[in-house]
Structure formats: C-alpha cells, structure tokens
Amino acid sequence: MFLDIIVLAAIAAFIFLRLRSELGKKTGNEPMPPAAGRGSVNQQGRTIEGYSEPVETDPHVDADVIDLEEDPKLRRAYADIRRKDSSFDPGQFIVGAQAAYRMILEAFWEGDRDTLNDLLDKSVLGQFETAIDSREENGFTLENRLIDISGTRVIAAELMSDTAELTVHFTSAIVAVTRDKSGHIIEGDASDAVETNDKWTFARDIKSEDLSWTLVATRAA
C-alpha cells in the first residue's frame, strides 16, 4: 500500500511538471475568469514558460511548417518572430497554450491564488483575484468542470519591437455551477455542459533568455 502511494505521487508529479514544461511554470459568481485587458509586458510580470528547453530542428522543415499557415498575416508574423527567435514553434505553442488554459481555469475556479500567481501577468492576476475575493465575500463556491477543449487556434500574431503577442481562440465545453452559502445552486446546471468561446493573448520578450510567455489579456469571443 505504501509503495502504491509513492508510485501514484510520482505519476502525479510527472503530469504536473509536463504541463508546466509545455507553456511553463514561470515559467463574483461568474463561472469564467473576468475579462482582462492587455497588460504591460515585462519581465517583472508573472510568466508562462514557452518551452522547457530550446529544440534544435531543421530550419528548412520549420520554414515549411510556417509556410503551411493559410492566413498570410499569421504567416508573416510567425516568420518575423522566427527570425528573432529560432526556437519559436507555432505547433508547440498551441499545445502549451491549451495546457495553460486548463490549468488557469481550474485554478481560478478553485481560488488557487498561488497557481495563478505563477501563470498570469500582474494586471491580469489582479482582476482574477478581485473576482475571487468577491466570490468568497459572498460565500459563493464554484463547481465547474472543463469537459473538453474542442478548438485551439491562433487567430492573431504580432511582433512589436522585441515583444511577440499571440492571441488564441479556445472553444470548450464547460459545466458551470455556482452555489450559495447554504449549498443551493443559484446559477448553472450540473447536468448540462455549455459551449464557451474565449480569446486569450500571450506575450513574450523574444530577446530574453527566459523562454516565457505571459497571459496579458482574456475576453469572451
């Protein structure tokens, strides 16, 4: 039994570290995080690490991947970013963004300020914390579950001087339930998942040795 506990703990630790390596470790009663406008982008903000380590790849293959992007604006932005940061990989970014989306939502729903502190830009963190404070003051609790992420795609990309910004559109199915102090459901349906669309913007100083992305804005799509 003791050995089983050790094995389970090791598996849980591996899964957590894997998620953090994808997009990194630093790397009221509404069911979703509050809309947060674009914050300042700097290394003092909390960041989400883009990659666990640089990946050496064939530059010709990388160029082909970017060339496959149908949107000419995204293709140009990716090429601009790649010229200043050879480690940038749109596909790997998408994987990490999806992992971060799940982690941030669950941390917000649970009121886990420590996790949010590791994953959000300071301005966005402040707005999330305000919503959590309001929820706790009213005695509300959330029983939300992310059932599925059916869509994750970059819809905008831009390189401004040495700062890269990518906006991702997430489509997900979420069960959202809010309970009052007495445990009564005051909003939502525990048996019904609702389709949710969000646009989240991540930013990174591409000249920095810290391969990190910061969540700088969230809004409903």
Phi, psi for 56 (deg, rounded to 5): -85, 120
Q: What predicted TM-score, i.e. pTM, was given to this entire model? A: 0.74
With contact defined as beta carbons under 8 Å apart, do 30 and 219 qualify?
no
Give the model confidence (pLDDT) of 6-42 as tens digits: 434 444 444 444 434 434 333 333 457 887 776 444 3
| Higher pLDDT pick, 84 / 21 | 84
| Higher pLDDT pick, 11 / 163 | 163
Spatial strand order in the sheet of 194-205 = 48-49, 212-220, 194-205, 163-175, 145-160
Give the model confidence (pLDDT) of 31-78 as tens digits: 578 877 764 443 333 334 443 334 344 443 355 567 667 889 999 999
What is the Cα–Cα distance from 179 to 60, expressed in whole angstroms? Answer: 54
Mean pLDDT throughout 176-182?
A: 96
Listed residue (221, 220, 168) closest to 31, CA to CA: 220
Helix (H), strand (E) at residue 2: helix 2-23
Cα 119 to the chain's mean position, in Å?
8
For residue 44, what pLDDT is reported?
Answer: 36
Classify residue 219 by its DSSP letter. Answer: E
Which pair of structure tokens corresponds to residue 102?
């799940």
SS3 151: strand
* pLDDT confidence bin for 152, thresholds 50/70/90: very high
The stretches of 85-166 forming alpha helices (DSSP H) are 90-110, 113-119, 122-137
23-220: CATH topology is: Nuclear Transport Factor 2; Chain: A, (3.10.450)
Mean pLDDT throughout 77-95?
A: 93
For residue 151, what pLDDT is reported?
Answer: 97
> What value does the CA radius of gyration of the chain take, rounded to a whole number of Å?
19
Give the model confidence (pLDDT) of 102-141 as tens digits: 999 999 999 999 999 988 999 999 999 999 999 999 999 9
Residues 111, 107, 16: CA angle, nearest 5 degrees:
140
DSSP E strand boundaries for 125-211: 141-142, 145-160, 163-175, 177-179, 185-188, 194-205
Which pair of structure tokens corresponds to residue 194?
């609702």
